[in-house]
Amino acid sequence: MVSARNGKHFRLTPAIAILIIALVVASLFHIVLEADHDCCGEGCHVCAGIMLCSETVRKIGICAFLLSLVYGMSRLAATCLKSTATAFAAATPVAFRTRLND
């Protein structure tokens, strides 16, 4: 069985993260460069590009927040379940050396 650290997903994850970071940086760079352009009014392609880039940055920010929230909750749940399992495992009659004569 392939472990998580040696599998294809472990090598692919940093590449995807780098691509997402590059997308955000390119979007921010485009917004900064075109912020003071000569707008031609209704139907301006530069304004449409700026709006698209700002929506991309906003949506990626929301996704990053939600992913960090889910990760934190899963870590909290794992910690609680681990401590509960340890508490139940310690409270057995064998652990107390109780003699069960029925």
Q: What is the largest distance, in Å, between two alpha-carbon atoms of the chain?
A: 92
* Element at 25 (helix H, strand E): helix 8-33
Q: 2-44: per-residue pLDDT in tens?
A: 455 666 667 777 888 888 889 888 888 888 888 888 888 888 8
pTM for the full predicted model: 0.59
pLDDT given for residue 96 in this prediction: 67
Q: Show the tokens assigned to 32.
A: 């900064």
Q: Is 96 helix (H, G, I), strand (E, B) or coil?
A: coil
